[in-house]
Amino acid sequence: MPQADYLNVSDARVYYVTEGQGEPLLLLHGGLGSVEDFASQIPALAQHFRVIAFERTGHGHTADTSEAFTFESMVEQTASFIEALGLKAVNVVGWSDGAIVALLLAISRPDLVRRMISVGGLAETMAQSAETRGWIESMNAEKFPQEFVSKYGEISPDGPAHFSVVLEKTKKLWLTEPHIKDEDLSKIKAPTLVLAADKEDLPIEHTIEMFRAIKGAQLCIVPGATHFLMSEKPELTNSVMLAFLGEHNDAEQAK
């Protein structure tokens, strides 16, 4: 079972869980998510790695602040979290918003990323369809699945009423960021796997463009799955992740 704790990171009291032994493997959850985003991954990954998953400001058990959500601040918090644990380069798996954070971390802080897996990632917000952007603009707490809203209220130190605040901050983030250029993606040095589903709302052409921009990257498209591929196809996604991480571990040891 994962062990839960809090860590002081800059001005935040950050919630995180750990499980397993070995090389550190950092998991970065999605927008409006929590460490539970990886409920189907942690047991399998922890058999091979020291899995660490933390919750960013305003997510899960970590309290919100008055600051807006930006990917820059999320990357800074992620880097600070890694350093606060006394770690150096770690393996990173990010899903959705977490994938964007992982990509930007690999670009800005290559010293902290050993290997990286981007799951359902996005490099350019305007690559989303007009339909998807329209759905984001229309989001409100009343339209959201109440099970999701209730779960937020159960674990957030800010209470259930704060969900509407976090949702509004997330909407602004999703409609205005990210803007990662191909030339920036080409700066990524860490071995990278771009993992996505064939039924993502994001056009598959954008995923392929990201893959081609990252030098030496690998690409895997999971069939019959949506953006929630990790919970829909856990055995397949876990095996792909472990194969990628194991392959590059073997290559490093052979040097």
Residue 198 belongs to a domain with what CATH number?
A: 3.40.50.1820
- Average per-residue pLDDT for the chain: 95
pLDDT above 80: residue 59: yes
User: Can you read off the two tokens belonging to residue 64?
Assistant: 């919100």
For residue 191, give the nearest of 216, 210, 211, 208 by alpha carbon.
216
For residue 82, give the nearest of 119, 53, 62 by alpha carbon.
53
pLDDT value at position 252? 62
pLDDT value at position 110? 98
With a CB cutoff of 8 Å and minimum separation 6, the contacts of 214 are 185, 186, 188, 192, 194
**Any domain includes 183:** yes
> Sorting pLDDT into bands at 50, 70 and 90, what band is 213?
very high
**Any domain includes 255:** no
With a CB cutoff of 8 Å and minimum separation 6, the contacts of 202 are 120, 122, 127, 128, 132, 196, 227
**H or E element in which residue 197 lies:** strand 192-197
**Any domain includes 98:** yes
**Any domain includes 33:** yes
**Any domain includes 254:** no
> Sorting pLDDT into bands at 50, 70 and 90, what band is 145?
confident
pLDDT value at position 147? 85
**Any domain includes 156:** yes
Q: Is 23 exposed, middle or buried (0-12, 13-18, 19+ CB in 10 A)?
A: middle
For residue 197, give the nearest of 113, 96, 105 by alpha carbon.
96
Percent of the chain predicted with pLDDT > 90: 91
> Sorting pLDDT into bands at 50, 70 and 90, what band is 1?
confident
With a CB cutoff of 8 Å and minimum separation 6, the contacts of 243 are none
Task: Tell me how many domains the chain contains.
Answer: 1
- Grouping H, G, I as helix, E, B as strand and the rest as coil, residue 63 is coil
| Residue 202 domain boundaries | 3-249
**Any domain includes 188:** yes
**Any domain includes 56:** yes
**pLDDT tens column, 73-109:** 999 999 999 999 999 999 999 999 999 999 999 999 9
